Amino acid sequence: MNVLVLDETMELSAPIHGLASICGWEPHFVGSLHELEQAVQAHGRPALTVVNLQPPLTAWELGQRLRGLGLESPVVVLGAAGQEGAAPALAGVQWLERPAGEAELAAALERVVSRLGLGGRRAGPRGGAGAHGLVGQSAQLGEVLAKIEKVASGDANVCISGESGTGKELIARAIHAQSARWDRPLVTLDCTAIPEGLMESHLFGHVRGSFTGAVEHRTGFFALAHTGTLFIDEISELSMPLQAKLLRVIQMREFVKVGGSKPTRTDIRLITASNKDLRRAVREGSFREDLYYRIAVVMIEVPPLRVRRGDIGLLVDHFLRKFSAAHHKRVPRLTARALELLLGAEWPGNVRQLENCIEQAVVLSDHDTIDVDVLPLGEPAVRRAGDTSKPGLPAGLTLRELEQQYILQTLDGVGGNRTQAARLLGISLRCLQYKLKAYRQGGLDQLAQFNGAPESQHPLGV
């Protein structure tokens, strides 16, 4: 299905591509009304038009232009509070008040698409992985997303392993969002945030007077997650006695509150995560083997960022847009030196560390560009200019040759995604296309690896 998206800021990129992956859409992004008109002339009327309404474009002007193009239905418009009444009445227009965050935007967009009956082969408000912050197109991440797709529809217990900052909770949320329990609670318990003495009470609840300080009844996480999904993060931190009690709950599908005597039935989908190797913990005797096999019916291992370098450019672009909007700034572009440092970094803190690095840079930058001076060079993640373990652009080239190599390096960093590359380079997509065409006519063989990469692709896959 052909979907036309007018979005100058690319705010809708992640949620649109998240829906596209599960609905079979072919989204085409444009940045102005003029480009929208050109797209309609080139590709015909779309099955759906989505507009991110930004000043100076008004709702009234938008309505007039859409009518002139014959795009009266179906149309989804994302706008600020109070703008809806200023637009002329158009049949089929669905208005969305701009939510506070990307996850809320994705959910709102999914609900509208469901009402319009445009969900394609996977209609409904469940969403996809990309709508929950999973950004990238590397083969390693693709394997994770494929496994999410396979396990989401069932009720098998899932265990997610990976280093800190790789996005384990995002994967748990993506599984829940695509499951049959998507409209039921998703409850998260972080075992590192709760003292060991209170963990049993948090898991199962307690009755009043069951121990010193229990002045009222408490509802546990199992009860809160009933009919939905319970996500237990860092499960390896549970003590052996609590592991035994958790095993019994999983086996019997019932629990007893602390200080209580009456069993309570529970119906949950259990997802767990750990940044430690649970198989090694089993061998060392710090984690129960029988519990491991209960929670790890399906194991999803999340690769660290250093082995999926092709996603770094996409993540950088995603975070630049996210934090520029959050801090009310124009989306900056990166200098060649800054981008090279980011692409060559080791990132021991993974996606979370990269996110922090980009937010710092956006906050500290006083210009429309980000150079190495505002990157957190003290962090071990970012290579210093004197680090020669990863070669940069070679010396002795002409200015044209340097430009060509930098463009190719940027394309490689975003997996061949031309829209994302143009944004990082600070040039228009049309300008980038012109340069690539010139390189191709000059017989540049390196461009062959990018053939077939969609111009506005923002594949799924923090």
* Range of lowest pLDDT (50-64, 107-121, 427-441): 107-121
Per-residue model confidence (pLDDT) at position 14: 66
pLDDT tens readout for residues 281-327? 999 999 999 999 999 999 999 999 988 888 888 888 888 888 887 88
pLDDT of residue 233: 94
Strand partners, 299: 159
Question: How many residues are present in the chain?
Answer: 462
As a whole number, the mean pLDDT across the chain is 78
pTM, 2 dp: 0.61
pLDDT value for 116: 62
Average the pLDDT over each of 204-218, 266-280, 339-353, 383-397 and give the range with the smallest value: 383-397
CA distances from residue 432 to 237, 436, 437 in whole angstroms, order as listed:
50, 6, 9
Q: Is the model's pLDDT at 449 over the cut of 70?
A: no
Of 41, 59, 43, 40, whose CA–CA distance to 51 is shortest? 59
* pLDDT for the residue numbered 305: 92
Other Cβ atoms closer than 10 A to 345: 23
Angle between helices 240-252 and 196-204 (to 10 degrees): 10
Give pLDDT, residue 386.
38
pLDDT digits (tens, 9 = 90+) for 208-249: 767 766 667 778 889 888 999 999 999 999 999 999 999 999
pLDDT at position 215 is 61
Nearest Cα neighbor of 234 from 161, 176, 152 is: 161
β-partners of residue 270 are 230
Torsion, Cα of 450, 454, 457, 460 (10° steps): -70
pLDDT of residue 131: 45
CB 419 within 8 A of CB 457: yes
**One-letter amino acid for residue 277 of the chain:** D
Higher-confidence residue: 330 or 101?
330
Q: 414: which 2 tokens?
A: 């975003």
The predicted pLDDT at position 43 comes to: 75
Residue 225: name the closest of 196, 197, 249, 258 by CA: 249
Highest-pLDDT range among 1-10, 239-248, 365-374, 447-456: 239-248
Q: What is the pLDDT of residue 166?
A: 93
Average pLDDT over residues 357-379: 83
State the CB neighbour count (10 A cutoff) for residue 332. 20
Average pLDDT over residues 13-17: 70
DSSP state of 135: B
- Is residue 242 within 8 Å of 291, Cβ to Cβ? no
Instruction: Please name the residues in contact with 153: beta carbons below 8 A apart, sequence gap of 6 or more.
Output: 178, 179, 180
Four-residue CA torsion sign, 104, 107, 110, 115 = negative
408's CB contacts (< 8 A; 6+ apart) are 446, 447
Closest CA to 76 of 105, 100, 101, 52: 52
Structure tokens at 48: 């759906």
Task: Give the model's pLDDT for residue 450.
Answer: 57
Q: Check if the beta carbon of residue 31 is closer than 8 Å to that of residue 8.
A: yes
What is the average per-residue pLDDT within 72-85?
72
Alpha helices by DSSP H, 69-206: 102-116, 139-152, 168-177, 196-204
State the pLDDT at residue 249.
94
- Domains for the chain: give ranges and CATH numbers: 2-132 (3.40.50.2300), 139-302 (3.40.50.300), 307-450 (1.10.8.60)
Per the CB < 8 A criterion, the answer to whether 170 and 462 are in contact is yes
In this prediction, residue 384 has a pLDDT band, given cuts at 50, 70 and 90, of very low
**Over the range 265-285, which residues count as b (16 or more CB within 10 Å of their CB) and which as e?**
ebebbbbbbbbeebeebbeee
Burial of 1 (0-12, 13-18, 19+ CB in 10 A): middle
pLDDT at residue 331, rounded to an integer: 84
pLDDT tens, residue by residue, 140-165: 888 998 899 899 989 999 999 999 99
| Residues 231, 187 contacting (CB under 8 angstroms) | yes
Over 80: is that where the pLDDT of 100 sits?
Answer: no
Could you tell me if 393 and 405 are in contact, meaning their C-beta atoms sit under 8 angstroms apart?
Answer: yes
Asked if residue 108 has pLDDT above 60, the reply is yes
* b/e sequence 111-132, b meaning 16+ C-beta within 10 Å: ebbeebebbeeeeebbbbbbbb
Stretch 183-204: mean pLDDT, rounded?
87
* Segment 358-380 mean pLDDT: 81
